[in-house]
Amino acid sequence: MTKTSQGRLEDDRFLKGQGRFVEDLPAGGCLHGVFVRSPHAHARIGAIDTAAATAAPGVVAVLTGADLAAAGVKPMRTPMPMNSFDGTPFFEPDRHALALGRVRFAGEAVALVLADTAEQAADAGELIMIDYEEEPPQTDPALSDEIAFTWKLGDEAATRTAMAGAAHRVTIREINNRVVAAPIEARSAIGSYDGANKTYLLQTQTQGVHFMRGLVAASLDIEPGKLRVVTPDVGGSFGMKLVAYPEQVAVLAAARLTGRTVRWVATRGESMLADAHARDHVSEATLALDADGRFLGLELLTHGNLGAYCSAFATLTISTGFAKTIGSAYRIGILAATVRGVYTNTAPTDAYRGAGKPESVLLMERLVDKAARETGIDRMELRRRNLAGPAEMPCTAATGMVWKDADFPQILERTLAASDWPGFAARRAQSAAAGRLRGFGLGMYLHISGGVPEDTASVTLEPDGIVAIRTGAQDIGQGLETSFAGIVAGKLGIDADQIRVRLGDSEDMPARTTATGGSSALQIAGINIFHATDDMIEKLRPHAGEAMEAATADIEYGAGKFTVRGTDISIALADLARRMPPAELNGCAGSADFSGNHVSVPNGAYACELEVDPDTGQVEILAFTGTDDAGTRLNPAIVEGQLHGGIAQGIGAALLERVHYDESGQLLTGSWMDYAMPRADDIPAFSLHDAAIPNSHNPLGAKGVGEPGTIGAPAAVMNAVVDAIGVQNIMMPATPERVWRAIREDRAK
């Protein structure tokens, strides 16, 4: 495929304020819903007195968990249950759309008030009286004994045997801080019910309408075909809008019970309380090395916090998602990993940009730097000795993952050269003379991307000459409309403005679809679109021959037209569309179901150079340099944008962001006054370089690019902080207070 500098097709309407988000959708005569949420992290629910609220002005109904249960609404279940390694069945508490019997985290929805205006519903919600019997909460995953599952990878006995004879063993403990996705568009939903046909319509943000439909239909206890899900433009997601939430189920149930359309829009405070959070791992890991610094084995134990309930992809995020990148890009002889998936009285967690990989890559990169310090081997030389090289590809890692189409050593050397690693000592001396601490950190990273390969795409020539693309993938801000149109435009030889990308309607999309996630859009949906375009051309070829009175075998296609081989007789694609009856055009729709290998191994290295003010603990990033292998970059500007955004989120996690609960389970970071999002002056200019090693698994040559920035950046930043202050046990986020305290405690020793 040819690279393109095509500007984003989506941006014209976004920049002109013509985006179409859920809150822009008309819903005349609708009821407005407001959820009443628990103030307690763990409590039994006693009596709920709704009389005053029901009698309040404009109120049509007040619903509780008992009302929804009586209406046949079922508990929400994860579609990815996971039994323990020893066969112990997966444990999952019932998650109701409105809490029934007890609440398990502060912010859980207990009642739904429906009124003519949102203001009336909010006022009435204040009148509901709920008796709670508080119970002790648990917020620390390392201390929780409410276990969903225990997952293991590798050979524990053999790993311990190999490690017992090692020349060096290095141990580290890391807490990967809980964060929120914080998309610019908060969650919302519009639910409608057609009593005559007994069908539902849900208009809401998703990362794939069919996946959402399946989850919500199961809770409503209906066949998926009875529910239509429509997703217009989405103002960011990063994974958290991939899954279904209680509010989406509740508004649909409310629509059926009241006979009215119901609209709900989350406040930012509700989003902080009840959106799926992410990360929140407590890990201990030991790396064994021989006398020459070769990595012999790795053993780790991770406590993964599921929160109060098991959200859709949470089991996979903390187990297989985490495990795919254990050991990063290094050769490790053998490993053993144990993951405890536990429940706490906090908001549920789920997949968020990287989905387990930032956690395991940070752990390994911190281990490598600590091992270098303890063995006396230069930290870059230690990496050189242990990185898998191109001659070893394809290489099966100790995790069982297969690495291919990668050159980790080249990426390391390019990054060190671009960041002027040889000149760092002189720069450090200059900082020291000015009373500041300078650090240099490197983070190798890789991702095993690909998502779930269940997808069908279609490409259709329509009567007006426009080419329509249909796929179950969902654009959530990453430029899929542009990318998909670029694939088809390149193959057909037409302008991108002659292509219409149709996303986000379960009645219009092919049924065999999953959802956008795992940096999979090009590897799955993009490949299907590529092949569906070929299929459409082949189906149109006989019709082009008929139009030009030539045999099908003599018809060629290129540059936007069919041509009779060896002649100048041709017909443009759009002209052929206008000649053909609509029924014949529909019969020529190209389609493709995904088959083949959907995996890619994007990888790279980031170098972060920073200064610390020892008197205040303030960290200032001076330079951020990297080399990324995203395969063939079909649209370099979109790739750069994805990398920049991911790195910014990774820096935020390393230095600023933390969801914090107190001992009673109360959220202390429930607004932008308390939760520190990275701002422009926290982010340096990036110097990023392209390794450009094509992915041999697909004809586009592309590798996933949505998540690498969040995977690699935290390790580079934290290694730089540790290098600057000389203290190993500082955890993310490295806020000024934490850095200041670490320096003072170290000096007091």
Per-residue pLDDT of 403-460, as tens digits, reads: 999 999 999 999 999 999 999 999 999 999 999 999 999 999 999 987 778 888 999 9
Residue range 456-593 in CATH 3.30.365.10: yes
Q: pLDDT category, 202, cuts 50, 70, 90?
A: very high
| 604: Cβ contacts below 8 Å, ≥ 6 apart | 411, 415, 444, 445, 446, 626, 627, 628, 629, 691, 708, 712
CATH number of 12-16+30-136+184-236+241-274: 3.90.1170.50
- Determine the pLDDT at residue 77: 95
Average pLDDT over residues 169-176: 96
| 550: Cβ contacts below 8 Å, ≥ 6 apart | 564, 569
Identify which of 95, 96, 92 has the alpha carbon closest to the alpha carbon of residue 84.
Answer: 92
Residues 258-290: tens digit of each pLDDT: 999 999 999 999 999 999 999 999 999 999 999
Domain 277-449+599-747, CATH among 3.40.50.920, 1.10.510.10, 3.30.365.10, 3.40.50.450: 3.30.365.10
Q: pLDDT category, 510, cuts 50, 70, 90?
A: confident
Domain-wise residue ranges, the chain: 12-16+30-136+184-236+241-274, 277-449+599-747, 456-593
Residues 222-271: tens digit of each pLDDT: 999 999 999 999 999 999 999 999 999 999 999 999 999 999 999 999 99
Strand-strand pairing, 395-396 and 570-572 = unpaired
- Determine the pLDDT at residue 320: 95
- Determine the pLDDT at residue 6: 67
Res 698 pLDDT > 70: yes
- Determine the pLDDT at residue 31: 98
- Determine the pLDDT at residue 468: 96
Res 2 pLDDT > 60: no
**What residues does 282 pair with on adjacent strands?**
175, 303
Residues 224, 217: contact at Cβ < 8 Å?
yes
- Determine the pLDDT at residue 514: 72
Dihedral class, residue 256 (left if φ above 0, else alpha if ψ from -120 to 50, else beta): alpha
- Determine the pLDDT at residue 716: 98
Q: pLDDT category, 1, cuts 50, 70, 90?
A: low
Does 277-449+599-747 match 12-16+30-136+184-236+241-274 at the fold level?
no
Look up residue 745 and give its amino acid. Answer: E
- Determine the pLDDT at residue 3: 58
Across all residues in the chain, what is the average pLDDT?
95
Identify which of 173, 382, 160 has the alpha carbon closest to the alpha carbon of residue 291.
Answer: 382
Res 704 pLDDT > 60: yes
Residues 626-682: tens digit of each pLDDT: 999 999 999 999 999 999 999 999 999 999 999 999 999 999 999 999 999 999 999
Cα 467 to its chain centre, rounded Å, is 30
High-pLDDT (> 70) share of the chain, %: 99
Residues 715-745: tens digit of each pLDDT: 999 999 999 999 998 999 999 999 999 999 9
Residues 525-582: tens digit of each pLDDT: 999 999 999 999 999 999 999 999 999 999 999 999 999 999 999 999 999 999 999 9
Res 517 pLDDT > 90: no
d(CA 717, CA 667): 27
Identify which of 190, 225, 312, 174 has the alpha carbon closest to the alpha carbon of residue 734.
Answer: 174
- Determine the pLDDT at residue 27: 86
Res 7 pLDDT > 70: yes
